[in-house]
Chain A
Amino acid sequence: MTAMDCREALLLISPHLDGALTMEEEAALAGHTGSCRACAAELALQEKLSAALREFGRLEAQAPPELCGLVMSRLRAERKTALARLPAAWRKALAAAAAVLLITCGTATGLKIAGGGKMIGLGTPAKVEGPGSPAGLINGGGPAGPSGEATAPGTGNAQEGNTPYDNGGNGPGSPLTAAGGPAGIEPGAEGTADAPPAGVSSVPAEGPRVLLSSGVKVTSTILKTAVEDLTEARAKAVALAAGAEASTQVFREQAGGRKIIVLRMAVAAGRAPDLIAGLYGIGNVIDRQDESRDITPLYNETLVQYNDLISRKNSAVDAEEQRRLEAQAMSYRQQLDAWEAEAGKRIITLWLESK
């Protein structure tokens, strides 16, 4: 082996630090640094840096005590949310216990505009506001609302005769419910580094957003299917969804003493027809509902409100007030994120029950 020049030697430093050099390479590097002071200094410097970085790695970091609680609140809220999006008639079929959950967390994406310190999202109590108020937009984001009309939250249920549903305050832990993101939207499962960037909904980001002239459309299909074997059907459905690169959430519930499984899938629009066709093969489809909504006006309205909240937050002097506005703004932002993430996607809700 001929003597190594500096360029070659320097290229070996990094793998040397990782212990990734062959014995020959190690020897050549040592030979060179033995006679070249510049490279020897560089090696020493890099070793020092590496040691400092490794030292950091050894520092213990303790998760903040509230982390676990926050995670679990979001997951519980999300679970309720998906169920809340089923058509009212189906929801009625769920066991009483589940129905109570549904009632307390509302029927659809409630949008209560700023002022009362309210959050938007599913924890918002139903309240019908006068025409022209933003509440008229309510329910626009709920892909699985009972009908295509813009009904105020609660009315769908009320028609079904679920009287306990009233305006009496927020559901339990409503700010956290809101924090769950109204749709529990998941852009791409883990591992997809280039998934649409809507995943980090809880990280404050106040980057500019623009008003949209059109195009925020939520299209959904709901399939109710009777199957021979729930577990098997579920596995098939999950596999089909994975094949179509859909992100899937699975919920196990009880309906009238019987087990049911609800899967919520978000799939690229182009792949939806094939996925739906595949899902038909799992069992007997008893019911199907399709709907599509352009939620652009709702999106824009929410955005305006969100921007307003941010500027109010920034000019607020009272820390308590600021926190309140921030939490409120956060819930708006999560709603916006959720819509963005699902724009252009088809939401498929698959209800599985055994024959």
Chain B
Amino acid sequence: MTDTRLLVKRAKNNDLAAFEELVRLYQDRVYALCLQLSGHRDDAQDLAQETFVRAYRALSGFRNEAEFGTWLHRIAVNVWLNFRRRNGREFQLSLDEPLRTADGGELLRGVAGTDGDPLRALEEKEMGELVRAALKDLSEEHRVVLVLREMEGYTYEEVSRLLGCSLGTVKSRLSRAREAIRFKIIELARKAGEDLPAGGEKR
């Protein structure tokens, strides 16, 4: 911890060797988040690279109020959001999202029970693959909250700081994101079920 502080201090004084040490210390954490967000190794590497370059430029603004790794994550999230925005992908999937009507009233339509449970028969491993695929397919705002909350384990407060939005927004987005991924997974499981007869009861 103090080690990091010292390195940050030196790096602030344009000591590139100190910054290099910081890159080595934090590259796995930054890369992991970039990989979770982008879902592609190449993109993740580019995003991570950009994150560190920006971090170096913004270093004078880092005041130790957050943990250094969290601060880097915040930059990584912004880099990723900008990347998505610039590539015009942001609305790609939100548009046909069946559950995002404005008032939230229809939020939970088609809810449990009506479609049986195509997931019951899935092995854990298959489930993992489905979740991975579904995550890639989510809109950016849904994916980012799930990644930060579930995969990175950040609290509501931390997520709200990372994304620069209110606690209430974090909670409602998470709730919607969980609905969204649930629908995607059911959809994917059905498709998979048509091709491969799932093991278990429905043989």
Contacts and interface: CB of A to CB of B under 8 A. Distances in A.
Interface of A: 6-7, 10-11, 13-15, 17-18, 20, 37-39, 41-42, 45-46, 48-50, 52-57, 60-64, 67-68, 70-72, 74-76, 78-79, 184, 186, 189-193, 195, 197-205, 207, 238, 242, 247-252
A205 B57 contact: no
Interface residues of B, number: 74
A75 B75 CA distance: 17
A191 B78 contact: yes
Contact of B131 (A13, A20, A53, A238): A53
A247 B112 contact: no
24 contacts: A11-B175, A38-B114, A39-B112, A41-B112, A46-B178, A48-B119, A49-B182, A50-B150, A55-B128, A56-B131, A61-B35, A63-B31, A67-B31, A71-B56, A74-B49, A74-B53, A79-B16, A190-B55, A190-B58, A191-B164, A195-B82, A198-B86, A207-B87, A250-B60
Nearest to B60: A238
A10 B35 CA distance: 31
Given A41-B112, A52-B124, A71-B49, 12 more contacts: A7-B108, A13-B175, A41-B117, A53-B131, A56-B131, A61-B36, A63-B27, A68-B27, A72-B23, A186-B54, A202-B46, A250-B60
A220 B139 CA distance: 40
Contacts of A39: 112
Contacts of B14: 79, 250-252
Contacts of A68: 20, 23-24, 27
A190 B185 contact: no
A79 B24 CA distance: 20
Q: A-B pairs with the 4 shortest C-beta distances?
A: A57-B151, A38-B113, A42-B112, A61-B32
Contact of B85 (A70, A71, A197): A197
A189 B57 contact: yes
A349 to B, nearest CB: 15
Contacts of A10: 108, 111
Contact of A190 (B35, B75, B146, B149): B75
B30 interface: yes
A7 B23 CA distance: 47
Interface of B: 13-14, 16, 19-20, 23-24, 27-28, 30-32, 35-36, 41-43, 45-50, 52-58, 60-61, 71, 74-75, 77-79, 81-83, 85-88, 108, 111-114, 117, 119, 124, 127-128, 131-132, 135, 146, 149-153, 156, 163-164, 171, 174-175, 178, 181-182, 185
B53 A56 contact: no
Contact of A14 (B30, B131, B174): B174
Nearest to A41: B112
A32 to B, nearest CB: 12
B171 A14 contact: yes
B112 A200 contact: no
